[in-house]
């Protein structure tokens, strides 16, 4: 038995369709809906069935050839994970330190992770960029960017 990409994909979507169909039963019905031909559940339930059938079709038609196996070597998952964590942190930093600082931090972190280690370059690119974007948005276009909550706590609201 060879598990190919198509088999994994089929299995995943089969599970997803089942789960989706299960939760579709939780959708609140409106009063009198039981007599209606079309409710908030109609489309989700149809989709669950359709998804299930298609996943089965994929499972049954998938060829079992060695070349279609999923191979995860040669991929730099660690670096990607770090980048994604950086994005999450950026989202949190937006709330706490405000737009400008968060942007600087994010860009420097990103450059650093991707191999740019010269501190000067990091600063020269990220600081003017962050300040520039902030200036265009906040000053030129008058879009309100919330100051960070840390800042608000130190200096009052």
* Contacting other proteins within 82-121 (CB under 8 A): 83-84, 87-88, 90-92, 94-95, 103, 106-107, 109-111, 114-116
Residue among 20, 105, 127, 150 that touches other proteins (CB under 8 A) = 20
* Count of chain residues binding other proteins (CB under 8 A): 73
Q: Which residue has the tokens 């599970």?
A: 15
What DSSP designation does 148 have? P
Question: Most distant CA pair in the chain: distance in Å?
Answer: 70
- C-beta closer to other proteins: residue 1 or 75: 75
Instruction: List the interface residues with other proteins, window 47-66 (CB under 8 A).
Output: 47, 50-51, 54-55, 57-58, 61
Q: Residue holding tokens 């600082």?
A: 101
Spatial separation of the C-alpha atoms in residues 45 and 60, rounded to whole Å: 23
Whole-number minimum distance, CB 4 to other proteins, in Å?
Answer: 9
Position among 66, 75, 120, 139 found at the interface with other proteins (CB under 8 A): 75
Q: Per-residue DSSP letters for 17-84?
A: HHHHHHHHTTSPPPTTGGG-S--TTHHHHHHHHHHHHHHHHHHHH----GGGB---TT--HHHHHHHH
Is 156 one of the binding residues for other proteins (CB under 8 A)? yes
**Candidate list 1, 65, 139, 142; residue touching other proteins; CB under 8 A:** 142
User: Which 29-48 residues touch other proteins, going by CB under 8 A?
Assistant: 29-33, 36-40, 42-44, 47
């Amino acid at each position: 038995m060879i598990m190919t990409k198509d088999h994994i994909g089929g299995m995943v979507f089969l599970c997803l369709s089942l789960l989706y169909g299960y939760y579709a039963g939780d959708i609140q019905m409106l009063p009198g809906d039981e007599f209606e031909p079309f409710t908030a559940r109609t489309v989700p339930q149809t989709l669950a069935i359709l998804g299930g059938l298609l996943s089965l079709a994929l499972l049954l038609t998938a060829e079992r050839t060695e070349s279609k196996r999923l191979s995860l070597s040669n991929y730099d998952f660690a670096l990607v994970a770090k980048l994604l964590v950086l994005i999450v942190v950026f989202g949190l930093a937006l709330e706490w330190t405000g737009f400008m600082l968060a942007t600087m931090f994010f860009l420097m972190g990103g450059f650093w992770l991707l191999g740019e280690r010269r501190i000067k370059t990091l600063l020269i690119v990220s600081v003017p960029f962050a300040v520039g974007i902030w200036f265009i948005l906040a000053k030129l276009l008058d879009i309100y960017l919330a100051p960070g909550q840390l800042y608000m706590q130190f200096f009052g609201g």
